[in-house]
Amino acid sequence: RKMEGYRRFLALLVSALLLGFVAVVCSLVWVFRYREGLGWDGGAAEFNWHPVLVVTGFVFIQGIAIIVYRLPWTWKCSKLLMKFIHAGLNTIAMILAIVSMVAVFEYHNARNIPNMYSLHSWIGLTAVIFYSLQLFLGFAVFLLPFAPVPLRAALMPIHVYSGLLIFVAVIASALMGITEKLIFSLSAYSESPPEAIFVNCLGLLIVTFGALILWMASRPHWKRPPEESAKVQRPNGGAPEGVEAESTMTDCSNADRSDAGFNSDAARKRNFKLDEAGQRSTM
Ligand code: HEM
């Protein structure tokens, strides 16, 4: 059963990576084959950075960042290393998202097109603002060593929920942006020209990628098991709190945890108990 679960996870992961990668390639094919390519000249080629960077960073890289703790072969790495990878991928996504915003705003200003009039732009900018908040809070509370354990435990469910909500909002915004762009730039969208069909497919790819990421991120049994040295704290009258001792090691060579993969049945059972109580490890 363990092996079967591992295989299913791998199949989903490979599918998600493939879909996400193809979506990025499709966004490039769209702007090079059907549009004006890429450039930084205040014109249409500068606008085109907007969809390309957003699909690459805000959709694809953010999606990978969300599931990075769930890769079974990383469970023998220290949690701290995985946090750096999670935070690093999200930082890269954030930078690409910001550059993509600069591209549209410059394009609009150069052409005297009003800013921030569409629902797409409202949802999109809201997602960017909350994403930067999420990133800042994540760094401050979970990565830096200053936050007390009860605060980490209290904020973790919110961090998980708001992370998934932002990811969904980003995908919704991408779909609205794609639809707008097709309506703006095609004189006959309703006649289904090749560009319309191609870019509609890009939208489908993005939705399917998002669906796979959300599925992988929400299965309790694919969660990273708590560290072997986990201590269980019981605050006064409260439910048990999943709290791990943090390792300061940042490599993957800890022999003590070399069996922390799918082989660690005990760890997974403990993990499941924590999950039933709605708890997550926060260290
Ligand atoms: C404009 C955000 C994806 C097409 C904008 C604006 C924001 C934004 C804030 C307003 C810029 C301004 O008013 O100067 C986002 C976010 C996305 C995203 C966060 C991430 C999912 C896309 C995609 C496309 C797209 C995939 C497809 C081409 C457009 C278009 C505009 C625009 C055509 C100009 C019209 C308007 O303001 O609605 N976007 N966007 N966007 N975006 Fe996006």
| DSSP code per residue over 224-282 | PPPPTT-EEE--TTS--EEE-PPP---SS--GGGTT-STT-HHHHHHHHHHHHTT----
Nearest atom of ligand 1 to the alpha carbon of 118: 38
Q: How remote is the CA of residue 104 from the centroid of ligand 1, in Å?
A: 7
Beta carbon of 128 within 6 Å of any ligand 1 atom: yes
Q: How remote is the CA of residue 27 from the centroid of ligand 1, in Å?
A: 14
pTM above 0.90, yes or no: no
Beta carbon of 115 within 6 Å of any ligand 1 atom: yes
Q: How remote is the CA of residue 256 from the centroid of ligand 1, in Å?
A: 48
Closest by Cα among 243, 264, 268 to 79? 243
pLDDT in tens, the chain (283 residues): 777 888 999 999 999 999 999 999 999 999 999 999 999 999 999 999 999 999 999 999 999 999 999 999 999 999 999 999 999 999 999 999 999 999 999 999 999 999 999 999 999 999 999 999 999 999 999 999 999 999 999 999 999 999 999 999 999 999 999 999 999 999 999 999 999 999 999 999 999 999 999 999 999 999 999 876 544 443 443 333 344 444 444 566 544 444 444 444 555 555 554 544 445 566 6
* pLDDT computed for residue 251 by the predictor: 61
Nearest atom of ligand 1 to the alpha carbon of 117: 37
Distances (CA, A) of 10 to 2, 15, 56, 121, 201: 12, 8, 22, 36, 25
User: In this structure, are residues 280 and 157 in contact, taking their beta carbons and an 8 Å threshold?
Assistant: yes
**ipTM score:** 0.90
> Which residues touch 221 (CB under 8 Å, ≥6 apart)?
5, 268, 271, 272
* pLDDT computed for residue 100 by the predictor: 98
* pLDDT computed for residue 271 by the predictor: 53
